[in-house]
């Protein structure tokens, strides 16, 4: 049986344990996408809370790829000093940190709100959002943007990069037959629909070198009709690992990335079966995410061989020190009740806080 609190390695990256803080949008960036003091306070708190690896909230690689207001940016060199502050904050507490980089594509709420035309893999006639199909030149430029963003992550001192290949953003749009209707080399069969991923990984690997860890949050299946099937998603996972991905965090493509629970519902690690299927298909570490709320569930996932690491998001909003609590023997379940009020409030422009915890105990004025 694995000891979840012992070191674990992803390639040459050694983590102090098998716990990951999954990428979480915190809305603390300023209007240009730059890190703020509130961002640093949040990551300092997470870094000292015992987790092995922190994955940042998604950072946009180019202006038309921004998904939401107050999202981190990694689109210019001007972002590097602030991002370096995040790294230092995480490292101060002993955690490693990966920068999640993303392009929203047609999924950008921000681009719609400011009146710009969103870039889409294909035209979607029934979609009211203003968009246009990307040209080959657009696609190549975005791949270059990802490579430049990854290099900035290296320069800022991050320990790894994670591509956001899930939750309906651009990488999900390319691989999903629901949204990719192209008839050129970027669309059609899986070999063409996965081409964007493979070319992107190749370009980034060439840019950052052979040993810098590259990870992906991968939507291995869509929860929508006519979307990506699990069988195609598993084949795609094999292909991206062959191209140089060092670890896969398994999630959904188009569909509900997080689920709201009600009092009394049993704990559900709702992507566990998909993670187990990916684990059987690839040779690199697999990270299970989604609904994990107890040390017992985390141990079960790893001991069964369904995944190598476990990742959580909302529990750390309420308890940034959850892993430290578990490690010192206080092994009760996470206090998070999966109500998702933290996510709904942040979408309305409020800071990332657990409303339940804030109601019970007024939090210190940390800005988060």
Active-site amino acid positions: 169
How far apart, in whole angstroms, are the C-alpha atoms of residue 58 and residue 213? 17
CA atoms within 13 Å, Cβ hemisphere of 358: 14
CB atoms within 10 A of CB 273: 13
CA-CA distance, 19 to 16, in Å (whole number)?
A: 9
Crossing angle, helix 136-156 and helix 80-92, to 10 degrees? 50
Residue pointed to by tokens 């502050």 = 85
Question: Which pair of structure tokens corresponds to residue 74?
Answer: 């990694």
Are 29 and 73 in contact by the 8 Å Cβ rule? The answer is yes
Task: Give me the sign of the Cα torsion angle 125, 131, 137, 139.
Answer: negative
Measured over the CA atoms of residue 54, residue 14, residue 244 and residue 156, the dihedral's sign is positive
Task: List the beta bridge partners of residue 97.
Answer: 54
Task: Retrieve residue 114's tokens.
Answer: 């400011």
In 169-246, at which residue ranges do the beta strands (DSSP E only) sit?
A: 214-219
3-state SS of 86-119?
HHHHHHHCCCEEEEEEECCHHHCHHHHHCCCCEE
CA distance 98 to 87: 9
Q: Are 248 and 218 in contact (CB under 8 A)?
A: yes
The DSSP call for residue 247 is: E
Extract the runs of DSSP E, i.e. beta strands, from the chain: 8-10, 13-15, 19-21, 53-55, 59-60, 72-73, 96-102, 118-120, 131-133, 160-165, 214-219, 247-251, 286-289, 309-312
Cβ distance 176 to 228 under 8 Å?
yes
To which residue do tokens 């979408």 refer?
A: 347
């Amino acid at each position: 049986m694995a000891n979840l609190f012992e070191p674990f390695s992803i390639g040459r990256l050694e983590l102090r344990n098998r716990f990951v803080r999954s990428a979480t949008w915190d809305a603390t960036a300023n209007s240009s996408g730059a890190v703020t003091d509130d961002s640093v306070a949040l990551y300092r708190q997470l870094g000292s809370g015992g987790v092995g690896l922190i994955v940042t909230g998604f950072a946009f690689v180019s202006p038309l790829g921004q998904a939401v207001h107050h999202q981190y940016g990694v689109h210019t060199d001007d972002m590097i000093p602030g991002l370096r502050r995040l790294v230092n904050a995480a490292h101060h507490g002993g955690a490693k940190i990966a920068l999640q980089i993303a392009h929203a594509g047609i999924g950008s709420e921000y681009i719609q709100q400011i009146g710009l035309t969103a870039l889409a893999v294909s035209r979607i006639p029934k979609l009211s959002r203003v968009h246009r199909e990307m040209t080959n030149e657009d696609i190549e430029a975005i791949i270059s943007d990802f490579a430049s963003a990854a290099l900035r992550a290296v320069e800022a001192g991050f320990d790894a990069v994670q591509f956001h290949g899930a939750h309906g953003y651009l990488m999900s749009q390319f691989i999903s037959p629901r949204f990719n209707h192209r008839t050129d080399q970027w669309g059609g069969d899986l070999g063409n629909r996965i081409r964007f991923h493979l070319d992107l990984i190749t370009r980034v690997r060439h840019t950052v070198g052979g040993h810098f860890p590259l990870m992906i949050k991968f939507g291995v299946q869509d929860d929508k009709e006519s979307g990506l099937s699990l069988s195609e998603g598993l084949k795609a996972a094999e292909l991206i690992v062959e191209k140089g991905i060092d670890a896969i965090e398994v999630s959904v493509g188009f569909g509900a990335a997080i689920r709201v629970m009600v009092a009394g519902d049993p704990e559900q690690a709702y992507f566990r079966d998909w993670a187990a299927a990916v684990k059987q298909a690839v040779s690199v570490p697999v990270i299970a995410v989604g609904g994990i709320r107890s040390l017992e569930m985390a141990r079960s996932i790893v001991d069964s061989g369904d995944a190598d690491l476990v990742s959580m998001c909302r529990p750390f909003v309420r308890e940034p020190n959850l892993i430290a609590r578990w490690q010192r023997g206080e092994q009760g379940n996470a206090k998070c009740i999966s109500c998702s009020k933290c996510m709904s409030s942040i979408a309305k422009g409020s800071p990332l806080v657990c409303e339940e915890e804030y109601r019970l105990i007024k939090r210190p004025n940390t800005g988060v």
